[in-house]
Chains A and B, each alone.
Chain A
Amino acid sequence: SQQGEEDPQALSIQEGENATMNCSYKTSINNLQWYRQNSGRGLVHLILIRSNEREKHSGRLRVTLDTSKKSSSLLITASRAADTASYFCATDARYGGSQGNLIFGKGTKLSVKP
């Protein structure tokens, strides 16, 4: 079963616009990560935010984490056509037998039109 649920499932925007993707999860976590996947390729790590952090930046990426709502958002500013990809959130559970493994959501498919 998947721990995270991203929304929207698909997002289409124009180059230069901002893209926001959301992720909700179910259990207490140590950290939450965002990954990107180009069609037919492996996943690439974008950013990791720890459970005691609320916001993190990396270049054009901004990630927020609200542990009280069990949700996170990924903002891509000034999007480019090359940002077209699927984006996944992933969490590791803080307790229980699933500690140490990373559970992925179903992803948001982002399309950035030039």
Chain B
Amino acid sequence: GAGVSQTPSNKVTEKGKYVELRCDPISGHTALYWYRQSLGQGPEFLIYFQGTGAADDSGLPNDRFFAVRPEGSVSTLKIQRTERGDSAVYLCASSLQSSGNTGELFFGEGSRLTVL
């Protein structure tokens, strides 16, 4: 019965460091999404998984960003050589949807990343 869990809730790092953000979706949800949200803006799509595979990674801003979901459940968003512009709240969501229409997304509370 738990919701989507994201860790850490807050991460402060220095420019150039490597960061991993974890998302534990609702059990049984096949679809998993990563979004990035800057202050005062809407969530910006990054990547969407259907099972273990990335169905759409067109939102990843550059090759410093990478995400995996090796067993079709937990996902990790990895950011290499962080830059100050990467500072944002990273939101994860999961959904029961199969391919086709997108259903209701269940969001976690987000991981706030601050790059100094």
Specify the main secondary structure of chain B where it touches its partner.
loop
Give the A interface residue count (CB, 8 A).
27
> A95-112 CB contact bits vs B (8 Å, 1 = yes)?
001111111111100000
Task: Write out the residue numbers on chain A whose beta carbons fall within 8 Å of the beta carbon of B108.
Answer: 42
- The docked-state distance in angstroms from the alpha carbon of A98 to that of B58 is 8
Query: Do A104 and B35 touch across chains, with their CB atoms under 8 A apart?
Result: yes
> B28-69 CB contact bits vs A (8 Å, 1 = yes)?
000101010000011111001010000110110000000000
- The docked-state distance in angstroms from the alpha carbon of A101 to that of B44 is 11
Report if B103 contacts A (CB, 8 A).
Answer: yes
Query: Do A102 and B42 touch across chains, with their CB atoms under 8 A apart?
Result: no
B-side interface residues toward A, CB under 8 Å?
4, 31, 33, 35, 41-45, 48, 50, 55-56, 58-59, 91, 93, 97, 99-110
| 20 residue pairs bridging A and B, Cβ less than 8 Å apart | A4-B42, A30-B102, A31-B101, A42-B91, A42-B110, A43-B91, A43-B105, A45-B104, A48-B104, A50-B101, A97-B56, A98-B56, A98-B58, A99-B99, A100-B31, A100-B50, A102-B105, A103-B45, A104-B42, A104-B45
A-side interface residues toward B, CB under 8 Å?
2, 4, 30-31, 33, 35, 41-45, 48, 50, 88, 90, 92, 97-107
